[in-house]
Each structure stands twice: as structure tokens, then as C-alpha cells.
Structure 1
Amino acid sequence: MSSVCKKCLKTIKRERVVVTSDGRIGCICDRKSSHDLYHKTKETVRSKDVSLKRYGSIDSIIEHVRIGDLATVKEMASMYDENRGYVISKIVMAAAEYDQPDIIVEFYTQYDDAVSQFLHNNDMAGMREFYEKHTRGMDMIAAVIKALVLGNKRAFEAFCTRDIIRNTHEMFMYTAIRDGTYKTLDILLEYEDGDRIGCAEVAAFYGNIDFIKYILNVSRNVETDVMNCMFEAARGNQPLVFRFFHEEYNEVFMKRLDRVFANAELDIDIAIMLHDEYGATSVKRCMLNAIMNGRYDLMVLCHDVWGVECDERVVEEVVRIHANEDLNIAFVDKLCEWGVDTSVIVRMAQKYFDEVIVRRVAEWAV
């Protein structure tokens, strides 16, 4: 900084010249490199100013999106080429935020038509290549979620006519309900044409009891909704949701308890609650389900605490899932620890062509 004369320093500030490549501000008077940098930077700034006046900055485009000026937005966006995917992503996101369905339809349709064709042909590789080449990773799902979270019904309905909604239903539902409000629920309930498939379950997954109450109050099939909520509450490890159903929907809760206990993706704490507090009895099926889901701790609990017998059905389930490369060898070692007949394990391993288990059993004999 000390090498710059006062006159040049004023010039630098006035013309917005950047620092030199090594991080210092060079003097324009006595350094050729700094002199070149001055002119190069000045030219770049002028070129950028002209470009912004001609094409319109992103902020300027978004401002026109906010007021719904489709014609101007189209004119500005049409001047972008290399960054067109990025610009359109910004436009659609802003249109979702400011509830401008016409702009969403205009800018999203051309891309979604191409995506729909890939989906129709089941060409997922082609669709990925299309996104990478033409859209630069723009995330339309985020725009759908923004519209839902903000309660912008018109914007969401603009997306509903496209395949993005039909093929990514679960993806946007979970995020929108997690971050949304009652307006979000109202939009989704209406979108689902009264069937409400998914809303209550998602609320149960996140443990949002107020949302569950709101949805069940207008439910056409409370028993089914409660059961589905119990499955999702188990998957989301939400004990308070189970307590709510036990207190408020006791008859349905007790009727569906064993089915959930036997088939849900249970955390060990939820499994203990359902068995010890509420009296679930289908422990054998719970153990088989634990094996299928790779829950070693729950499998051990079922055997060591609840006394489930390790019979051929259990052995076969362990071997079958291990053969599909979905299970750790520790499950097989546990069978040996429990004293399972090794000939049964080998027979099952041969049935499913699992040479790893055959070799493992041979190691036990050494």
C-alpha cells in the first residue's frame, strides 16, 4: 500500500481497480504490470456494466418475477445462453416464492417436457445427462417445496400439471410438511383429492402431533390412517406419537399393535415400549423383521430377553439376507454363539449359494 502515490490511490478508488495478482495494490505510475492491470480491470468493469444494461441482472429479473411481468422476464432470460439453466432455476424459484404460476409454466414446461420423455422411455441415464448438460443441476424440487412451505397454492398447482409432482411425491412431501404450516397441509390435502395419502404419515414421522390431529379430524378412514401413522412413527422413532394414539385412539391402536410390532422398522426403544408397556406379542415375527432390516440389537433382544427360539426359520432368514449381501457376518456368528447346529447353517448356506458362510462355519471348527 505504501508504494502507491496518493494520486494513483485516488484513481484506484474511483475506477474500482482490484489488487495485483500477489495481493498488493500496485502503483499505476511506475509499474508496468499494475498499469496493464488498471486498464484491463477498467475495461472489464465497463464491459460488465454494458452487459447488465443489455441483459438485466439476476436481481432485476427476479424483481420483474415478483411483480408478474412475464414479457420482460422472457425478454431478459432469452439473452442468456451459457448460464441459461442457472437463470431459469432462479426464475422458477422466485416464481414459486412470489406465487406466479404463469411464469412457472412458461419457464419450467420446456425442461419438464424433455424430462417426461425420458421418464416415459425409462431412460434414467439420458435424463441425468440432460440435467447435467442443459440445466446445470437446477433443483425444481426445491421450488415445489418453497411454494408449499409458503402456502403459495397457485404456484404449487402450476407444478401439479407436470411429471415432477407425480414422480417425486414422497421427496417433496416430507420436506414440505417438516418445514410447513397449516396452509401447507391444506394445499396438500386438496391436491390429494381428499384421499390424504401420505400427509398424516409424514407428520407422524416427524412427531408433529398437532398436524396429525388436524389431518385425522377430516380423515375418511381413521383406522387406516392411524395404522400408517404408527408405522411411520416407528420409522421416525417417535414414542410420543404412540402415546398419543394409545390415549386418543386406543381401540384402533390395540387392534393394529401386533401388526406394527411385527412389520415396522423399529428402533429398539420403540420395540421395548410396544412390548413391555402395551403388550405386543408377535415377538417371533418381530425378530424376523429385525433380521430383514439389519437390526442386530433387536434380534439379540428378541432372543436373549424375550426368549424367541432360534429355529430353522430364523437361520434361513439370516443366511438368505446375508447371501443377498444385505447382512453383516456378525449375525451369522451370533447363530454359532447361540448354539445353532452348524449342519443347519451349512445346509441353508448351500441352498442360497453362500460360500462365505460355509467358510465361516469351517473356521469355527478350527
Structure 2
Amino acid sequence: MKKPVLLVVALLLAALGILSCGKDPSGGTPAPDTAVDRKALLTYWADSLVKPGYQRLNDKLVVLKTKTTAFTAAPTTATLLETRQAWQAAYVEWQKVELFEFGPAEAVSLRNHFNIYPADAAGINRNISSGTYDFELSTAIPQQGFPALDYLLNGVATGDAAIAQQYATSASHRRYLTDVVAKMEQTFGTVYGQWNGGYRDTFINSTGTDASSSLSRVINAYSLYFERYLRAGKVGIPAGTMTGTPLPAKMEAYYLRGALPLQLATTAHTAVQQFFNGRPGRPSLKSYLDALGAKDSRSGQPLSSLISTQLGASYQQLSSLGPDLHTTFTARNADAVASYNEMQKAVRMIKVDMTSALSVTVTYVDNDGD
């Protein structure tokens, strides 16, 4: 008689064990592995954000190459303006994908080839004079990409007519401009080709949270980009938050100036916000945090709402720095410092609170001294 009773008890215990799976010890929040379909999240990022974003940038780079070819074949004020317009359009498009510095982009150091500023004008001029240069050298990083094009199309002489004349009379200038664009096309082509090849499947099938997983690489790239390249690079360094002295010469698009630098910064910030918030009904970092029931440890409020709200406040402060960011750095720098400070509030939430909630380890070290 005892054996049937023991069997029933064992079955009841097993059933209770099954029902308890997927809950944490506190009794309410699903375990991370069951709360979110990470493959669906990675698939959405790959197919709806990265690949279409790269497609749009590729289209802009094709136009840039076409206009550059026309300009170097017949350097006039008109062809210069067309090339400059194509450069601006591609530069704005780049801001929407620069945060994707993982996978193939990380492997080829795409950002180093595309957007390390300020441009090394002296080095560019030496390269033009010597006719010998290697864009793969570390010293050549600030002598290429969009910042180099900024100098080549806006800074080699004073006034559009003088710039066009410089190219009309100098084969060395025409060659260097052509080579910079060709190097961008080659480097980006490698990244774009891999995403349209086998890497997409590799990316979406890496569904863990360890340091080599796609989620970890994306989160680290996202956090690093916002902290170092948006907060510090576009605002903090030229505002002098690390030195105590404004350094407007270190701003993005320094040679053209006008409205473009702020457009680049606000476009980049919008990309960061949209990547976090996502679209209604689609997977995103916000929906991931909500599914995990992530709360702010200080206030107990939903972490996703706090991050989204702070990113919104940060964007508003950044937008107020217009219309000419160079003038802001020189005439009302306190406003630029305030913008940096608003972004810094979001850095803590993203780098510390969000990564902890997602069980992702921060693998980069920020060394800007703040």
C-alpha cells in the first residue's frame, strides 16, 4: 500500500517542479532565457535596421563617387557644389548607422576609416605633396573618411571658386580626393557584402548573453557609441568638458560649419533613441527590458521608461544648441556643457543599469577622463 502513495507524492512534486520553472526566486519575473525571444530581437535588428540602413548609406556613397568623379574630371564651382551636397547627404546617412560598430564593421574598424575627427589637415597636405600614403596605417586614420572630405571640399582654399581652381591646377589634389572616396567605397563594401552574405545568419543565431554573443556585442557597441562618440565626441570635447577650455576646432564638420554639425549630432542622437525605443509591436531594447520587468533600483520605476525619458530630455537640450554649433561652442558654451551633462545622465542608465538588467558585461573601457 505504501508504494502507490509514494508514487503519487513523487508525481505531485515533479508537477510542482515543472510549474515552478521559468520563475525567479522572488516568484514573479520570468527568467531572462524565457522572457524574450532573443532570436526574434536579433532578426529584427538585422533585417529591419542594419541591412536597410546600410543599403541607404550605400546608395548615398554611390552618388558621392559619381559626383566626385565628375568634379575631378571637370573642376568647376558647379561640380564642386554637387560633390559637396553628395558628401553632406552621405555624412548625414552615416550618422544613422555608425552605432552598428559590431560584426563586420568592427572587424574592419569601419568608424576609423569613416569618421575620426578632427581631420589631420597637415597630414593630408603632406600626402598630397608626396603622393605616397597608406590608409591602413594608424597615423592615416584622421586623413581619410568624411572628415578628410570636409577639409578637401571646404578647407583647401578660401571660397568655392578658389577650391575649384585648386583642383583644376593640381592633379595631386584630384588623385587624393578620388583615393579617399575609393577607400571608403572599398571598406564599406566589405561590411555591406558580409551582411548580405553569411554574417546575417551568424548574427541572428548567436542568441546567448556571453561576451561573444550578438546581444553583448550590440549592447557594448551601442553604449560605447553613445558615451564616447556622441556625448564626448560631438559635444563634450569641443565644449571643453574634459579640458575646461572650449575646443571648437575639434568639432565634426569643422570646415563647412553652418547648420551641418548640429544636423549630424541630432541625427545621430535620433538613431540612438529609435534603436532603444523601437517601433510599436516590434522587438527592441525597451520591450526587452519591459519583458524582464527591469526596475530602477533607486526609484522602483520601470527602467525602460526612465531611459526613454532621459534620452528625450537629452535630445531636446542638444537640439537647442543651434543653428550654428560652432557659434554655440564659442559664444554660449555653457549650453553645450549642459547638453553634455544631460547625455551623461543617460550614460549611467545605459552602461550600468541596462547592461545589468540584460545580464551583459561591459567589455570596453572609456578613457575620456570624466
Q: Name the TM-score, length of structure 2 as normaliser.
A: 0.22
Q: Larger Rg: 1 or 2?
A: 1
Higher relative CO (CA 8 A, sep ≥ 6), structure 1 or 2? 2
Q: Name the TM-score, length of structure 1 as normaliser.
A: 0.22
